[in-house]
């Protein structure tokens, strides 16, 4: 069974600060997705990374996939209150032909104005 550990679990910062969220595993993933979920809503897909070492940018958000495809990070520059939410990473098992994703436990981010 693959596991994904996210850290930190909770993060409370002031507007304008930078932060990094980590998603780690001992298993290899064929792809990894990052989602943001706001209270009372479903997760919204932010990005998918597929290639080891890949870096993708989405405005102030930078996503990186580890070279060995076992870990990923999300860096937010100059955080804003609108970034508040639950951030989830999810990986696809390359050895499982099914459609399951393994989800991390999430990082709950609060950005104070």
Question: Which residues sit opposite 57 in a β-bridge?
Answer: 62
Which residue number, 98 or 113, has a Cβ lying nearer to other proteins?
98
Name the DSSP letter for residue 28. Answer: -
Contact status: 31 vs other proteins (CB under 8 A)? yes
91 binds other proteins per the rule CB under 8 A? no
Per CB under 8 A, the list member of 12, 15, 45, 68 interacting with other proteins is: 45
Distance from C-alpha of 78 to C-alpha of 60, rounded to nearest angstrom:
7
User: Which is it for strands 19-24 and 5-7: parallel, antiparallel or unpaired?
Assistant: antiparallel
Kindly list the residues in this chain that would bind other proteins in the complex (CB under 8 A): 30-31, 33, 35, 40-45, 48, 50, 88, 90, 92, 97-101, 103-106
């Amino acid at each position: 069974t693959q596991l994904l550990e996210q850290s930190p679990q909770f993060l409370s910062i002031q507007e304008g600060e930078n932060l990094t969220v980590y998603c780690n595993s001992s298993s290899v993933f064929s792809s990894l997705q990052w989602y943001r979920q706001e209270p009372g809503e479903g997760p919204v897909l932010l990005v998918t990374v597929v290639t080891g070492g890949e870096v993708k940018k989405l405005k102030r958000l930078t996503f990186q996939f580890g070279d060995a495809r076992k870990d990923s990070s999300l860096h937010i520059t100059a955080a804003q209150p609108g970034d508040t939410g639950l951030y989830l990473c999810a990986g696809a098992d390359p050895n499982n032909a099914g459609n399951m994703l393994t989800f991390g436990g999430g990082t709950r981010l609060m950005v104070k104005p």
